[in-house]
Chains A and B, each alone.
Chain A
Amino acid sequence: MKFDFILHWLWALVFSILALSGIAMAGAKYGWVMQYDIATADIVHRLAAVVYVLLTLIVIIYEIIRILRRDRTKKPWLVFGPSGYGLFTFITTLIFIITGAVIWLFMDSNHAATAFTMWIHEKLTYLAVASVIWHIYMKSHALKWPKKKERKAR
């Protein structure tokens, strides 16, 4: 199994957990997503955020190594890229991590910065979730089980 394929689906899993736990905490209106258990949603969101940050680091290092080695092979499953949806994911991920870090680190000491970054973090979540739905629609051929290819290979 290819490394970029594994990274892609790990990313999808962690992003889904982050989106669900984040939306559950976003307001009372959405609390039903995690049965109004905000404390659990908070812990799950923080733990998933650390995995998300580590995955981001791995993808960035992987991409840097590819560039330094002048590796020009196409990696269709790679999360980040210089154009298209890869670039969109790269930019939104950086904004998510920076705003998330500000909320995490300055929640008790700077309420203005927390309010401002939390607003960006929340609104970006809706945009990212909508973009993921669009991404799944555009790439829905990837959801098909590869029966024909197996038969051809045999």
Chain B
Amino acid sequence: MFNKQKRPFWQLSSVFAVIIVLVLAHSWSNRTENAAQMDASMADMMSNEILGNTTVPDLFTLGAMDSVEVSSGNGEHSGHHDQTGTLYAIHLITTALLLFTLPVILAGALFLAIVWPKSSKRRKTN
């Protein structure tokens, strides 16, 4: 019936269940938070709006970038494209780190994909 060896899992689950109930209770007690009426997730909404009419070449075609001059007058983007302050500096550093590490990760992953099957074969034969 109940596996005693799995008791730590159920203990951990009960701790998380209590945390979730507390967070939900806190959310529901706050009257200003009525945003939960949208059912679809962001990815589902984007794919419904955009992917319906797109072709495969569209996935690899760059559109016109939102210029800072144009977007500065737009309320939706004015805060998003702020090019001063620590946030922008963090964005630049993290983007540079991502661009630098991505090719190394892909090359390493390719190397492991080639070498791993060979090494596991050796282990089996040995």
Contact = CB atoms under 8 A, between A and B. Distances in A.
Question: Is chain A's interface secondary structure helix, strand, loop, or mixed overall?
Answer: helix
A114 B108 CA distance: 25
B63 to A, nearest CB: 6
Interface string A29-64: 111110110000001001101100110110011011
A57 B108 CA distance: 8
A144 B12 CA distance: 11
Interface stretch (A4-12, A102-110, A146-154): A102-110
A2 B97 CA distance: 27
Interface string B83-116: 0000100110011011101101110110110011
The range of chain B's interface size is 35 or more
Which of B7, B90, B108 has the most chain A CB within a 10 Å cutoff? B108
B112 A63 contact: yes
A118 B116 CA distance: 30
A36 B119 CA distance: 48
B22 to A, nearest CB: 11
The range of chain A's interface size is 35 or more
B42 A137 contact: no
A35 B11 CA distance: 26
Interface in B39-68: 39-47, 49-51, 54, 58-66
A115 interface: yes
B23 A32 contact: yes
B99 to A, nearest CB: 8
Contacts of B35: 28, 31, 36
Question: Is chain B's interface secondary structure helix, strand, loop, or mixed overall?
Answer: helix
A108 B66 contact: yes
A140 B5 contact: yes
B1 to A, nearest CB: 16
A64 B112 CA distance: 7
Interface of A: 25-33, 35-36, 43, 46-47, 49-50, 53-54, 56-57, 60-61, 63-64, 67, 72, 80, 82-83, 90, 94, 97, 101, 104-106, 108-116, 118-119, 121-123, 136-137, 140-141, 143-144
Interface of B: 5-9, 11-12, 23-24, 26-27, 30, 33, 35-47, 49-51, 54, 58-66, 87, 90-91, 94-95, 97-99, 101-102, 104-106, 108-109, 111-112, 115-117, 119-120, 123
